[in-house]
Amino acid sequence: MAARAAANAVSDAAAASDPRARSLSGARPDRLWPLLWRQMVDATDPGVTAGDEAVVIALRARDERVFIDLVQRYQRPLLRLAQTFVPSQAVAEEVVQDTWIAVIKGIDRFEGRSSLRTWVFKILTYQAKSRGERERRSIPMSAFQTADGGPDEPAVDPSRFRPPGDSRVSGHWAEPPADWGSDAETRLLGREAQEVIASAMDTRPPAQRLVMTLRDLEGWDSTEVRTALEISPGNQRVMLHRARSKVRASLERYLTEAARVTVADLEALFRYGPTR
């Protein structure tokens, strides 16, 4: 079932990218409903979502606000996906640009066999692959297939676990996760914490950053991410885990270093008294 949906999504995407394909009378919204209904009753099929219907209709009516929202939302994730296929930032940007043009041209023919966002990402993949082949420098999904950041890169620094053979219990935490403090929950919502998260994500390879963005920032589920990026369940998990672990480690540094500063401040206070 999922395979069929994926195949359909690809053919939709291919049609949208094909400059020879002509506009169809299927542009009329009433033609969409039987398809939408079929998707909605078929719960195992990652097809159009309830929110998609309104967006598709608005795009067909050339609603600029809806189009801008879509671009704002997916421009950066699409750029990251493009970066996994083509060697330069400039080419990646062109691929994203071509993808949006294909979306605009293809929206009247979008049949709702996948969710709208999956469809957009499939078009990107199709564009990026053919672009990569044209340039003979394609790195097809290499960022996803090699473990992306080195196969041996552990999610938690191994020095934090007791080594095998340690007289104490091996495999247990030697340096356990630090206490984040009682105000962690509040501080995590603050602007500073958000900046810490954003810059930790920025240090990740594009594929990892992309998976974490779609899962945790955009709230996609694992099936949809796998379908849109054409990656295996295991790969999706590994990349997500690595990215999340790095972000967690950065938050740990941020939350515990700040606590040390507070202690230093208190000491200064005892020594010198309050400053005005």
Partner 1 sequence: MTEYLDDAMPPEDRDRIELHLSDCDDCTTYIEQMRQTISATGQIRPDHLPGSVVDQLLAVFRESRRTGS
Among 10, 13, 56, 193, binds partner 1 (CB under 8 A): 193
Which residues does residue 161 pair with via DSSP β-bridges, in sequence order?
173
- Scan residues 98-117 and list those touching partner 1 (CB under 8 A): 100-101, 104-105
Length of the chain: 276
Q: Provide the token pair at 106.
A: 């293809």
Q: Of 116-175, which residues contact partner 1 (CB under 8 A)?
A: 155-156, 172-173
Using the rule CB under 8 A, is 185 a contact of partner 1? yes
- Is residue 124 classed exposed, middle or buried when 0-12, 13-18 and 19+ CB atoms within 10 A define those classes? buried
Residue with tokens 């997916």: 74
Site for partner 1 contains 212 (CB under 8 A): yes
| Cα distance between residue 113 and residue 87, in whole Å | 31
**Residue among 11, 23, 142, 146 that touches partner 1 (CB under 8 A):** 23
179 binds partner 1 (CB under 8 A): yes
Q: Distance between CA 226 and CA 136 in Å, rounded?
A: 26
258 binds partner 1, rule: CB under 8 A? no
Q: CB nearer to partner 1: give 86 or 240.
A: 240
Provide the 8-state DSSP code for 213: I
Question: Per CB under 8 A, does 38 bind partner 1?
Answer: no
Rounded CA gap, 236 and 231, in Å? 6
Which residues would be at the binding site for partner 1 (CB under 8 A)? 23, 62, 64, 67-68, 71-73, 75-76, 97, 100-101, 104-105, 155-156, 172-173, 176-177, 179-180, 184-185, 188-189, 193-194, 197-198, 201, 212, 216-217, 219, 222, 237, 240-241, 244-245, 247-248, 251-252
